[in-house]
Amino acid sequence: MQLPNHRKKYNLDEMMNRYKIVYQFQEYLKILNQTSENVSKNWNQAVSKLPNLFHNKSIADGDSNESNPNTPNRSKNEVKDESSSTVRAKDVAKIEKKDSTYKLPLIGGWRSKQFSNAEIERKDSVPKWKTDVTIASSADVLSRTKQLLFLIDKAESVQSRVKRIEDLIAFISQNSDARLMAVKNGAIKKLLHIKRRTKDSTTHQILREAFALLGHVDSLPNKGIRILTVDGGGIRGIAVVDMLRKLEELTGKRIYELFDYICGVSTGSILVSCIGTPRGLTMQEADIMYTEFGTKLFTQSAFWGVGNLVLNRAYYDTTMFEQLLKRFVGETPLIKTNRDANCPKLASVSTVMNRSSIMPFVFRNYSLPYDRQSQYIGSCKYSLYESVRASGAAPTVFQEFCLDGIIHQDGGILVNNPCAVAIHEAKLLWPNSEIQCVVSCGTGRRAPTAVAAYSSEAVNKASSVSWKTLIHRILESATDTEAVHTMCNDLLPPNVYFRFNPYLTDVIPMHEIRSDKVAQLREETGLYIRKNEEKFVDAATSLLVKRTASQRIRDFVEAKYLEYGLNKST
């Protein structure tokens, strides 16, 4: 049977089109060894021709069964193939019309991820190093660090310099290797030059934050290192407030002005974070804080407490606890507290629970010098609220606190007296300075038992102890504070180390809210302060010893050595 002329023409055109397709893909396969950018470019060029190859002009103009009723019927397969090709071609045309910036067009039902022009412009408007969470190579980090230091050095205005120093701080915070690279490329020297040349207060604030992040500390304002530590103990922190108020009265200065390094654990971390900064609470406001903790947090009924304990492993309302912390402590990043000129170095201690062994974790508002390593893990990238929330997460009392996959609980589990931790950290910051004064504040202890109580007549003659007694004794030993006190008392001179820990008739629980018991705590603390008046005066005198002339001369020489790059740490 002889086919009509127009059918012969159509079959010939179809064969030519198929040949062209095969030829195009052969050409494409020849250049697969080129770079990915060229491959994508040629791929787009090749595929862009597919609509024209699948649909010649006669078909596009309407030379089909639907547009020409005189055309004989074709097979169902031909019609099906042609209709599917038409759909694909229309989809490609829609994509090209909507957005010309896709990577791979539609082929046989495939469609690659498309990017709109708005998305590309939005990504380009933010520096890549600020949004890129991938791990950068050391070469990239070094290059960016050098670029930021160069921009800081060449800044022409105060605003520009402040912005570029902030960029450096943000970059170092995101890339741990950048801190070492910045120090080795003279960052401290450059910033010291700026500090000496400028009198702008905003610039000095940013510089103090940058120095703290880089591990640089200024010379001490007094003769040596002055350290304050506060133990854990819940509501018994009221006793510490009264004792520190006595020191403020004797010296005429606020707590943050009296000490160079302040460290706390559990309730101690809450207290030092509140009163340890220039923008923090006064002693009167700290007293009000403990009152609100007692009335709003520890007044929960036993029914709800047991229910929470079963469901959340926390007897008290953790959400309320967090709200109170945010209100009184605030959510300022730890490192930004250094912007205040008189802010001391702060630390809060928690306990890490989800490692092979439990260990202390130190929340710092500073970085240690890159060439010194602490015995305690820690970080300065968190906020004041996060540090005290982690340090105060007492087991069964409040829920545990998770930060970056690390589960934190109350620091008192391991370090209920943080005096040794504070001395260790302070000596890393000022290794060549002597310790001028250490004030360690406890939250109360039992009155010393008479020796007769330990005689053979007084000892319980039972052959074993109950499980309840055993667990209670283990917990007491784990949270004991006097062992650290004994060690520090033996190693430090008597005119340097001062331990204040009032004797209590009854050791008050950390969640005590009964007014008579709180009044008893205040009364016995006041009695302890009056009996140890001379000791408080000695501590106040030790805290106020000024720096000698020879020390000031040495500080000046060391600062010049560091500023002009003569110190090996620059």
Residue 314 lies in a domain: yes
Residue 315 makes CB contacts below 8 A (sequence gap 6+) with 300, 305, 306, 308, 309, 396, 397
Q: How confident is the model at residue 12 (pLDDT cuts 50, 70, 90)?
A: low
Tell me, yes or no, whether 350 and 203 share the same domain: no
Output the pLDDT for position 109: 42
Output the pLDDT for position 497: 96
pLDDT in tens, 535-560: 999 999 999 999 999 999 998 998 88
Higher pLDDT, 140 or 108: 140
- Print the domain residue range for 147: 126-214
Which of residues 102, 124, 146 is at a domain's end?
124
Tell me, yes or no, whether 385 and 511 share the same domain: yes
pTM of the prediction?
0.73
Q: What is the CA radius of gyration of the chain?
A: 36
Tell me, yes or no, whether 174 and 35 share the same domain: no
Q: How confident is the model at residue 92 (pLDDT cuts 50, 70, 90)?
A: very low
Higher pLDDT, 393 or 312: 393
Tell me, yes or no, whether 319 and 193 share the same domain: no
Tell me, yes or no, whether 206 and 249 share the same domain: no
Residue 493 lies in a domain: yes
Active site residues: 266, 410
Tell me, yes or no, whether 381 and 241 share the same domain: yes
Higher pLDDT, 443 or 483: 443
Output the pLDDT for position 14: 67
Output the pLDDT for position 30: 62
Percent of the chain with pLDDT over 90: 50
Output the pLDDT for position 448: 65
Tell me, yes or no, whether 499 and 418 share the same domain: yes
Tell me, yes or no, whether 21 and 66 share the same domain: yes
Which of residues 79, 98, 124 is at a domain's end?
124
pLDDT in tens, 394-447: 888 899 999 999 999 999 999 999 999 999 999 999 999 999 999 999 998 877
Q: Kindly report which listed range (18-32, 96-110, 225-239, 390-404) carries the lowest average pLDDT score.
A: 96-110
Residue 338 lies in a domain: yes
360, containing H or E segment: strand 359-364
Tell me, yes or no, whether 421 and 272 share the same domain: yes
Tell me, yes or no, whether 172 and 315 share the same domain: no
Whole-angstrom distance, CA of residue 565 vs CA of residue 189: 6
Q: Kindly report which listed range (204-208, 301-305, 523-527) carries the lowest average pLDDT score.
A: 301-305
Output the pLDDT for position 226: 97
Residue 472 lies in a domain: no
Residue 183 has pLDDT above 50, yes or no: yes
Total domains present in the chain: 3
Mean predicted lDDT score pLDDT of the chain: 79
Which of residues 108, 124, 140 is at a domain's end?
124
Residue 568 lies in a domain: no
Residue 363 lies in a domain: yes
pLDDT in tens, 289-332: 998 888 888 777 776 777 777 777 788 888 999 999 999 999 99
Q: Kindly report which listed range (75-84, 127-136, 345-354, 502-511) carries the lowest average pLDDT score.
A: 75-84
Give the β-pairing of 225-230 and 261-265: parallel
**DSSP state string for 472-534:** HHHHHHHT--HHHHHHHHHHS-TTTEEEE--EESS---TT---HHHHHHHHHHHHHHHHHTHH
For residues 503-520, give the mean pLDDT: 86
For residues 452-478, give the mean pLDDT: 52
Output the pLDDT for position 42: 56
Higher pLDDT, 46 or 396: 396
Tell me, yes or no, whether 443 and 344 share the same domain: yes
Residue 207 has pLDDT above 80, yes or no: yes
Output the pLDDT for position 465: 57
Output the pLDDT for position 515: 87
Residue 88 has pLDDT above 80, yes or no: no
Whole-angstrom distance, CA of residue 370 vs CA of residue 428: 11
Backbone φ and ψ of 182, nearest 5°: -65, -45
Whole-angstrom distance, CA of residue 22 vs CA of residue 2: 29
Q: How confident is the model at residue 513 (pLDDT cuts 50, 70, 90)?
A: confident
Residue 414 lies in a domain: yes
Whichever domain contains 531, its CATH number is 3.40.1090.10
Distances (CA, A) of 107 to 65, 79, 89, 183: 25, 20, 9, 53
Tell me, yes or no, whether 359 and 389 share the same domain: yes
Residue 143 has pLDDT above 60, yes or no: yes
Residue 562 lies in a domain: no
Output the pLDDT for position 34: 53
Output the pLDDT for position 476: 54
Output the pLDDT for position 526: 95
Higher pLDDT, 211 or 447: 211
pLDDT in tens, 240-275: 999 999 999 999 999 999 999 999 999 999 999 999
Output the pLDDT for position 57: 43
Helices (H), 371-466: 384-391, 419-429
Q: How confident is the model at residue 19 (pLDDT cuts 50, 70, 90)?
A: low
For residues 59-73, give the mean pLDDT: 43
Q: Which residues of 458-473 are buried (b: 16+ CB within 10 A; e: fewer)?
A: eeeeeeeeeeeeeeee
